[in-house]
C-alpha cells in the first residue's frame, strides 16, 4: 500500500502562512477511531527510513496516519531549502497538518475520537509544544523519538559532540543561533499530562541521552522510556518494530485509563 499525497498551500516562500507543502495519508481498510500525525525533524522527509518505522508501527495498530513533508528541507519537495529553516515554521507546518486532519476527519475514515502526536527530533518538539497549547486536552498521547528539548541544549550538544559544530551550523542553518534559543519545552513541560513515551539512542550526538534523560525526569508523570543501545539519532541499529508497537500499546492503554477516570 502506498499513501495518498495531498498538496497544501501555494506559496514558494517558506516564510508564508500558505507555504507550499505536502501531506502523506496512510488510510485504514475500515473506519478508525484513531489517527496519528508523525512529524519528521529538521531537514527531513515524511517517508525517510526512520519515519517509516514510526508509520509502520501505528499502521500495525490500525491508525490512520498523516505525515507532513514540512518546509525548508533538502529531502522533500516542499517550499524552501535547509538554509531557510526556522523551528517556529516547523511547528507551524505540523499545526497545519493537524488542522487539515481534523477538518477532513470524515473523509479520512477517522471518528475524531483519538488524536496521537508523534515526532522525531525537532518534530518531537513541535508535537509536544502543540500538545501544550493549540491542542491542550485534545491529544490522546505523545510518542517522542530522539526529541529536541531546547535550543540552548541543542547548541550545547553541537559544541560538545561535533567538530566545528557551531561554524557548520551557522553555514547550514543561518537563523539557528538566533532563533533556536527561543524554544524550550521545559518552560511548558508541566502541561504534558497526557501519556508520553520517549525513545533515545545511546549513540545519539544530536539529541544526546543526557538531554533526553532530562526530559524524562521532568515530565509531570513518568513516561514509558525506551533506551536503545545501538541507535543513533535516526533509529539506526535495528527495526525496533516490537519496541515501537509495544510503546503504542502502552500509550493506548494509558489513554483509555485516563478517559475512564475522567
Cα torsion for 37, 40, 41, 42, to the nearest 10°?
A: -120
Q: C-alpha cell of 37? A: 500525525
Q: How far is CA 68 from the centre of its chain?
A: 10
Q: Give the pLDDT of residue 198.
A: 98
Q: Give the pLDDT of residue 262.
A: 55
Average pLDDT score over residue span 128-141: 97
Q: pLDDT at residue 24 above 60?
A: yes
Q: C-alpha cell of 153? A: 541544549
56-74 pLDDT, tens digit per residue, is 999 999 999 999 999 999 9
Domains, the chain: 4-253 (3.40.50.1820)
Q: pTM of the entire structure?
A: 0.97
Q: Give the pLDDT of residue 184.
A: 98
CA distance 222 to 225: 8
CA distance 132 to 188: 7
As beta bridge partners, residue 226 has 199
Q: How far is CA 56 from the centre of its chain?
A: 15
Amino acid at each position: 500500500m502506498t499513501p495518498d499525497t495531498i498538496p497544501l498551500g501555494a506559496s514558494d516562500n517558506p516564510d508564508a502562512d500558505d507555504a507550499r507543502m505536502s501531506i502523506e495519508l496512510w488510510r485504514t481498510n475500515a473506519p478508525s477511531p484513531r489517527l496519528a500525525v508523525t512529524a519528521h525533524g529538521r531537514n527531513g522527509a515524511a517517508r525517510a527510513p526512520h519515519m517509516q518505522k514510526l508509520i509502520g508501527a501505528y499502521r500495525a495498530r490500525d491508525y490512520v496516519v498523516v505525515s507532513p513533508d514540512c518546509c525548508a528541507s533538502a529531502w522533500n519537495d516542499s517550499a524552501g531549502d535547509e538554509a531557510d529553516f526556522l523551528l517556529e515554521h516547523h511547528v507551524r507546518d505540523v499545526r497545519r497538518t493537524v488542522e487539515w486532519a481534523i477538518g477532513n476527519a470524515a473523509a479520512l475514515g477517522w471518528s475524531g475520537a483519538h488524536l496521537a502526536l508523534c515526532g522525531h527530533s525537532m518534530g518531537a518538539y513541535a508535537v509536544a509544544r502543540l500538545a501544550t497549547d493549540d491542542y491542550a486536552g485534545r491529544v490522546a498521547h505523545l510518542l517522542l523519538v530522539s526529541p529536541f528539548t531546547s535550543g540552548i541544549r541543542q547548541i550545547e550538544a553541537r559544541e560538545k559532540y561535533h567538530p566545528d559544530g557551531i561554524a557548520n551550523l551557522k553555514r547550514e542553518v543561518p537563523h539557528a543561533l538566533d532563533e533556536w534559543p527561543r524554544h524550550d519545552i521545559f518552560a511548558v513541560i508541566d502541561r504534558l499530562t497526557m501519556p508520553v513515551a520517549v525513545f533515545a539512542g545511546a549513540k545519539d550526538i544530536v539529541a544526546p541521552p543526557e538531554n533526553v534523560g532530562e526530559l524524562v525526569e521532568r515530565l509531570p508523570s513518568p513516561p514509558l522510556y525506551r533506551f536503545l543501545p545501538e541507535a543513533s539519532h535516526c533509529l539506526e541499529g535495528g527495526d525496533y518494530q516490537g519496541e515501537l508497537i509495544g510503546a503504542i500499546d502502552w500509550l493506548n492503554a494509558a489513554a483509555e485509563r485516563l478517559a475512564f477516570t475522567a
